[in-house]
Amino acid sequence: MSSASSKAAQSGSADALKRAVAEAALEHVRAGEVLGVGTGSTANFFIEGLAAIKGRVQAAVASSEATRQRLEAIGIEVVDLNQVDHIGVYVDGADEINAALEMIKGGGGALTREKIVASLAERFVCIADESKWVEKLGRFPLPIEVIPMARSLIARELVKMGGSPVYRTGFVTDNGNVILDTYGLDIINPVELETRLNNLVGVVTNGLFARRPADVLLLGGAGGVRTITRPA
């Protein structure tokens, strides 16, 4: 851990922890690789840090329009995913993460593009402050991106599964869809539930990242940044 990130982490505020893990993630960026960049406040600190090492970044793929704009603002070339067949590392935050490095994501509504970019990445580095660490996923409502015409249909299906979906009013994803933030699902088997939700006709993506968990978690706490590798 660098002394700057150590100092930031020890100061304890959520932003300081996010900045510390974002800074630590810069060490995972390798020269000459295409980089995948996530969305959210923690990812934004990572983008700020990228400004200092942009010579090392060949090009980046953005997981949202907001991230694309931020990357371009610091002079990093953003390429369309269709132009690349390999991403070295994907760096992104999470709303919850467990010991298997399975996550709930999508609090910022970018889950679909995040999952697509992550699926092409050789390494997924999750950056999170310790408030995101959970024993069991599901305290955070699971975001589910839905085709607008299927909103009520999917909401009824989610209720049958024991969930309480809440329509994210006034929010439209970068893909023109809507989000159902779903409370109360009992996430006993994240891989199975991710697949089951994907199979509902009208669901575009759900915020469970279990079939493609993170490979490395940089977790910021009062004691500094811990590096946790996904168990084999």
- 74-to-30, 44, 46, 49, 77 alpha-carbon distances in Å: 18, 12, 12, 10, 9
From the list 114, 130, 135, 145, the catalytic residue is 114
Per-position x/- string for 38-77, each x denoting binding to ligand 5RP as judged by CB under 6 A, each - no binding: xxxxx-----------------------------------
β-bridge partners, 92:
126
| Cα–Cα distance, 103 to 207 (Å, whole number) | 8
Burial class (CB in 10 A: 0-12, 13-18, 19+), 107: buried
Q: Which is nearer to ligand 5RP, 36 or 38 (CB)?
A: 38
Q: How many chain residues touch ligand 5RP (CB under 6 A)?
A: 17
Sheet holding 208-209, edge to edge: 96-97, 103-104, 208-209
Mask: binding to ligand 5RP, 97-116, rule CB under 6 A, as x and -?
--------xxxxxxx--x--
In angstroms, what is the minimal distance from the CB of 128 to ligand 5RP? 7
The piece of 67-75, 90-98, 116-124, 144-152 that touches ligand 5RP (CB under 6 A) is 90-98
- Output the known binding site for substrate: 39-42, 92-95, 105-108, 132
The token duo for 99 is 């010991």
CA distances to 55, 90, 148 from 73, rounded to whole Å, are 15, 19, 32
Residue 92, interface with ligand 5RP (CB under 6 A)?
yes
Catalytic residue status for 77:
no
> Which of these segments, 25-33, 88-96, 193-201, 220-228, binds ligand 5RP (CB under 6 A)?
88-96
Catalytic residues: 114
